[in-house]
Amino acid sequence: MSWAALSPIAVEHNLIAVALTQSCDRQAILVDPIIGAPALSLRGGHTESHLSQIVWSMRSSFVVITAGHDGRILFWDIRLPSKPIDSLDNTSAPGYSSFSHDAVAHNGPVLGVTHSPDGLHLISWGGTGLKSSATLRIWGLDANGRPCSLPPPNDSPQSTSFDGLASFTTCQPRSINFGVFSPCSMLPPISRRSGGDRTTNPTTSRLNEADAGATALLGSSVRMAVAAAGSSHSLWGATSAFVFVPVGLNLLVTMATAQEDFHQSLHKRHFSDVRSCVWNESRQEVYTAGMDNNLHVWSLFPDLIEDPTGLGTDDNEARV
């Protein structure tokens, strides 16, 4: 097992979604804790073993999202579990949704998936097909938590645009690439842009979707965190967010916003790979856990002003 999740909104069931990682498994299962056994299995969508992520939709209590080392992100309806209902594709044109066997969201293994605070966008972290590089992407979802399938009408109100991508306040298919990151580099990543990866060809890179070297350098799947960025920013009419991503030894802090003047930076405190981060809304803090057996507390807004180096003090860490 690599990942387990409970639905944050379900009142009809209490199923636990579990992603399986055995070499013979290409499926996820839904466990009923009342009977202590699997109630459903979701199989037939992923082409390789080692499912890396599984999350429940924040908009529908019946939709499960799985991601794997084959670069795919699939949407399942547990009421019709025989096959996926939708898939994300970084090369498809707007207006073409639903499930496709050829669709890939990343040209390398998908290492992290999370929702924006309002559930209207899905944020994914995964490989580019090149060794030691990964990219952060954001995908538009509709009010039911499924990928946007219809292009906006010609008279839809526009909000903002960048890099030639028109943005609308209504739901539309979009895949925004925040740039390519190297876990060994402390330099700021390149600016985000729309579309696929600039450094790789979608046709040839699909041959390297589960590149072992990329997986080894990027590490295993990670848990990302998001925090609402307030009303001063907009994500195409939805709630913008701060995004926290473990990148090797570092924590990437960036913004999911439709504006061009966003800021992103890398901060280092751990001595080994960071595997998970969690946002505490009430205390406005980020908690990170690493393979160095350390837990760190990042009081994000005060510390970034008082300690611009991001190194923190001994008071902000605990040994486990």
What is the H or E stretch that residue 250 is in? strand 250-256
Residues 238 and 116 sit within 8 Å (Cβ to Cβ): yes
The predicted model gives 288-306 an average pLDDT of 77
Which pLDDT band, with edges at 50, 70 and 90, does 287 fall under?
Answer: very high
Spatial distance between the Cα atoms of 241 and 284, rounded to a whole number of angstroms: 13
What pLDDT does 143 receive? 82
Provide the mean pLDDT of the chain: 72
Q: Judge whether 275 lies within some domain.
A: no
Q: What percent of the chain shows pLDDT beyond 90?
A: 21
Domain count, the chain: 1
Which pLDDT band, with edges at 50, 70 and 90, does 215 fall under?
Answer: very low
Tell me the whole-structure pTM to 2 decimals: 0.74
The predicted model gives 12-20 an average pLDDT of 90
Domain that holds residue 145: 3-268
Using DSSP's 3-state secondary structure scheme, residue 13 falls into coil
- Does residue 153 surpass a pLDDT of 90? no
Q: Judge whether 90 lies within some domain.
A: yes
What pLDDT does 311 receive? 52
Which pLDDT band, with edges at 50, 70 and 90, does 279 fall under?
Answer: very high
Q: Judge whether 118 lies within some domain.
A: yes
| CB count in 10 Å sphere of residue 162 | 17
Q: Judge whether 201 lies within some domain.
A: yes
Residue 98 sits in a domain whose CATH number is 2.130.10
Find the range with the poorest average confidence among 89-93, 244-248, 258-262, 301-305. 301-305
Q: Judge whether 55 lies within some domain.
A: yes
- Does residue 93 surpass a pLDDT of 80? no
Q: Judge whether 281 lies within some domain.
A: no
